[in-house]
Amino acid sequence: MLISATEYAVTRVGLRKWLELEDIKSRIFKATDNRDLLADAMLSYLSVAFDIPKQDIIDAPWYEVIEAYIEVDKVNQCKEFPVLKGKEKHEEYSWDYDGRTWYVWANALAKNYGWSLEYIANLDPNDAIALMQEIYVDEQIDKEWTWGLSEMAYPYNSTLKKSEFKPLPRPSWMQKVYTVPNVKIRKDFVPVGNVVRLGDWNETAKPS
């Protein structure tokens, strides 16, 4: 990858750098109304990816910077793990700080597998995410077991006059995905006239 006539090798990064790049990427998409922040985030992204000071590429043609960003991002794409698709909003804690994500991951992986920080930092992000998902699943199952043993899991239903089991809610990414089944309908039950399917709804399909 050529930036300002200097060749940079685009390689897949380890977990620690990947987390840093993801943090910067979220800054890029938040800086859509401020050119200074957007440009700074883009340069920071490449600075981290290539291990170079931002100053080295600050005057590079804009399109070379963007091409490099796209290339680095492509090389560092991960699988679409369910854990990454959670809809829960990230709560802000008083003990949060910039760069904490890495320590949260390192803490969880070190605690569960006994690995050193250096080893965890160099894990492939795909492996790390898959393992983190397993850690979260194990934690949830443990919590559900403990929950099932507590009285709180069996609230009294005054209408039925008995206690009913209330399962511990699971995070959205652990919930079953329901798909609407295709149901065959008898021909004489099908509405008469032109049927407009919502999926095909566009300007031309709109009734006049």
Positions touching other proteins (CB under 8 A) are: 28-29, 32-33, 35-36, 38-39, 42-43, 58-63, 65-66
* Choice between 29 and 165, CB closer to other proteins: 29
Backbone angles phi, psi at 35, to 5 degrees: -65, -35
Q: Which is nearer to other proteins, 36 or 88 (CB)?
A: 36
CA 59/CA 56 separation, integer angstroms: 8
Q: How far is the CB of 64 from other proteins (least distance, A)?
A: 8
CB 195 within 8 A of CB 164: no
Shortest reach from residue 48's CB to other proteins, in Å: 16
Min separation Cβ 72 and other proteins, Å: 15
The rounded distance, in Å, linking the Cα atoms of 138 and 135 is 5
CB of 59 to other proteins, least distance (A): 5
30 in Cβ contact with 23 (< 8 Å): no
Q: How far is the CA of 110 from the CAs of 15, 58, 98, 113, 169, in angstroms?
A: 13, 37, 21, 5, 27
Rounded to a whole number of angstroms, the minimum distance from the CB of residue 74 to other proteins is 14
Residue closer to other proteins, measured from CB, 63 or 165: 63
Tokens of 85: 């698709």
Which of 24/123 has CB closer to other proteins? 24
Nearer to other proteins, 3 or 121 (CB): 3
